[in-house]
């Protein structure tokens, strides 16, 4: 990965406290996994604090994030610049109350 792309991706990751790389957007997720993570954010009251990045609109971001994060699938949820995980991890964290604690929100 070239340094310009790496810097661009880091800038996107750092663009908000909560950043979700997903297919579609929060109003119209374009895959079930992305929809599940959006719902998890809603469940813990964090949906309005999140920045949503539609990877389908930018093939360079879509391909680059797989390398940048060393995570092969989407969605990818970041909190304060750190990768939390994908759909299964976020769903599990939401169900056991850990996502709420991590993001510092109360539902």
Sequence spans of domains, the chain? 3-102
Record the pTM: 0.94
Topology of domain 3-102 in CATH is Glutaredoxin (3.40.30)
> 6-58: per-residue pLDDT in tens?
999 999 999 999 999 999 999 999 999 999 999 999 999 999 999 999 999 99
* Rounded Cα distance, 55 and 65, in Å: 9
Confidence band of 106 (pLDDT split at 50, 70, 90) = very low
For position 105, what pLDDT does the model report? 52
How many other C-beta atoms lie within 10 A of the C-beta of residue 88?
Answer: 12
> 57-96: per-residue pLDDT in tens?
999 999 999 999 999 999 999 999 999 999 999 999 999 9
Beta strands in 4-43 (DSSP E): 18-22
């Amino acid at each position: 990965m070239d340094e310009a792309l790496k810097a661009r991706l880091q800038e996107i990751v750092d663009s908000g406290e909560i950043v979700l790389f997903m297919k579609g957007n929060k109003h119209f997720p374009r895959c079930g996994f992305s929809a599940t993570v959006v719902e998890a954010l809603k469940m813990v009251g964090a949906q309005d604090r999140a920045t949503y990045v539609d990877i389908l609109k930018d093939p360079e971001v879509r391909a680059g994030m797989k390398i940048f994060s060393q995570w092969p699938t989407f969605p990818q949820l970041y909190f304060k610049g750190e990768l939390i995980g994908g759909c299964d991890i976020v769903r599990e964290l939401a169900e056991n109350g850990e996502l709420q604690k991590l993001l510092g929100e109360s539902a």
